[in-house]
Amino acid sequence: MIPAPFEYVRASSVEEALAALAEHGEDAKLIAGGHSLLPIMKLRLAVPSVLVDISGIRELSYVRVDGDGADAVVAIGALTRHHELETSDVARAEVGLLPHVAGRVGDPQVRHRGTLGGTVAHCDPASDLPTALLALGGDVVLAGPGGRRTVPVTEFFLGFFETAMDDGEMIVELRVPRLGDAGWGYEKFTRRENDWPIVAAAAVAGRDGGAARVALANMAGTVLRATATEQALAGGASIAEAAALAAEGTSPTSDMHADAEYRSHLARLLTRRALETATTPISVAA
Ligand SMILES: Cc1cc2nc3c(=O)[nH]c(=O)nc-3n(C[C@H](O)[C@H](O)[C@H](O)COP(=O)(O)OP(=O)(O)OC[C@H]3O[C@@H](n4cnc5c(N)ncnc54)[C@H](O)[C@@H]3O)c2cc1C
């Protein structure tokens, strides 16, 4: 399939991108890696008449620790590609879940083009990195005509391909708390290694299993937290007891890959495994 004709604008700064969005209104769409937008343009599910290419704004590609002491967070530019996140020493040292999950997105070609901002903005219910971000917490930084604002990750993914981003805004940064002593686990069930998850579970937990956060992919119209599991853990339930509640409050669909009942089974199983990994003490070689 061939996309409908469109005008192409290249932005070399955030200001240029915002100006182009303001000029062309709802006819315009940003394009970063193009690995989600172009497939849906080819299917004519998206028909923007203007594409604003932001892939050249290289100052939005970075992973760094921002701030000092307990207030320090990991700041990740929106145009950081999955491969850059996967191989970032800072990300590996401070938020190990994210580079691990980035390395499990699609294939090398996808990881060398796709961007963190793109996958967060696209808000596919099956996407890996938004699931990891929900478990980690933190903020999405948006730039728009009125300046910059920050939205907690937990309030960003609203529904089926729907986010808290307003028209004319763009994501410029993700700010993620450092993991410190917390452990993490990620379980992604696919039919083939490079596939999107049929279901995935991300867990972040203190090594004693307390104050855990669990997020699920492909269990509803958007990525979501497994709140029944989290509440059970906070109330002293075992991992097995809490994971048995992982599908509560979800609304998985049935499709050619799995029916809703099987997805619920996967959510319970993957949550248990992710939590077990997150709470397994790290052994240090002598
Ligand atoms: C073959 C294939 C396999 C894949 N497998 C997986 C997988 O296993 N797991 C997974 O999670 N994903 C997978 N993906 C999706 C991939 O991760 C995409 O790269 C990602 O979802 C979107 O990033 P992008 O930079 O390509 O965004 P684009 O396609 O350029 O844009 C996507 C949407 O986000 C908007 N956008 C982009 N950047 C910004 C910004 N900074 N601010 C505001 N809006 C913005 C665009 O306007 C568009 O609406 C796969 C894609 C392909 C083609």
Q: What is the pLDDT of residue 282?
A: 66
Q: What is the pLDDT of residue 286?
A: 44
- In degrees, rounded to 5, the angle at the alpha carbon of residue 241 between the alpha carbons of residues 240 and 242 is 95
Q: Nearest C-alpha to atom 43 of ligand 1 is from which residue?
A: 170
State which ligand 1 atom lies nearest to the alpha carbon of 36: 29
Query: How many CB atoms within 10 Å of residue 30?
Result: 23
Chain segment 111-125, per-residue pLDDT in tens: 999 999 999 999 999
Q: What is the pLDDT of residue 280?
A: 87
Is residue 39 within 8 A of residue 82, CB to CB? The reply is no
CATH node for 183-279:
3.30.390.50
**pLDDT below 70 — which residues of the chain?**
207-210, 282-286
Domain boundaries defined on the chain:
7-53, 58-177, 183-279
Is residue 3 within 8 A of residue 38, CB to CB? The reply is yes
Residue located via tokens 């805004």: 169
Distance between CA 32 and CA 212 in Å, rounded?
33
Q: Nearest C-alpha to atom 47 of ligand 1 is from which residue?
A: 30
Tokens of residue 149, six digits = 């604002």
- Give 221's contacts (C-beta < 8 A, 6+ positions apart): 125, 159, 160, 251
Query: How many CB atoms within 10 Å of residue 56?
Result: 12
Is residue 69 within 8 A of residue 178, CB to CB? The reply is no
Looking at CATH, the fold of the domain delimited by 58-177 is given as 3.30.465
CATH node for 7-53:
3.30.43.10
Separation of CA 286 and ligand 1 centre (Å): 43
